[in-house]
């Protein structure tokens, strides 16, 4: 695995921890839907399914939250529909798309920011 991949995996690990601290249960990680793409984390928040995009960056690059463009948000919506189609349809609480941004400095603790309903 290259350095970028390792950084991304580290960010996903921190995101899973943050979601767990928020009371969510992780249902899947790196779930793929054909050629549509991949959902980083699928979680359950009460009776809501949460599709979570994780963006991890080092300082000096764009802020992790800036990486979710309108095109990326559309793809996340299509991926959410694919997940629901393959896992029994829309739950009572619906579906939500969240974003977890992880900023990993060269020194010191990473900063993890969770935005609910980001897309």
pLDDT tens-digit series, residues 30-66: 999 988 899 999 999 999 999 999 999 888 777 777 8
Instruction: For residue 61, give the DSSP letter.
Output: B
Is the confidence at residue 1, as pLDDT, over 70?
no
Residues comprising the chain, all counted: 119
Chain CA centroid to CA 18, Å: 11
Mean pLDDT of the chain: 91
Where do the structural domains in the chain lie, given as residue ranges? 3-115
The backbone region for 54, taken as left when phi is positive above 0, alpha when psi lies in -120 to 50, beta otherwise, is beta
Q: How far apart are CA 29 and CA 70, in angstroms?
A: 23
Assign domain 3-115 to its CATH architecture: 3-Layer(aba) Sandwich (3.40)
């Amino acid at each position: 695995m290259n350095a970028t991949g390792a950084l991304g995996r580290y960010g996903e690990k921190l995101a899973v921890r943050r979601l767990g601290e928020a009371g969510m249960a992780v249902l899947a990680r790196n779930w793929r839907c054909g050629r549509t793409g991949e959902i980083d984390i699928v979680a359950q928040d009460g009776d809501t399914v949460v599709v979570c995009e994780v963006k991890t960056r080092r300082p000096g690059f764009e802020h992790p939250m800036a990486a979710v463009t309108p095109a990326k948000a559309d793809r996340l919506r299509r991926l959410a529909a694919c997940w629901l189609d393959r896992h029994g349809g829309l739950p009572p609480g619906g579906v939500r798309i969240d974003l977890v941004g992880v900023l990993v400095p060269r020194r010191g603790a990473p900063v993890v920011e969770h935005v609910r309903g980001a897309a």
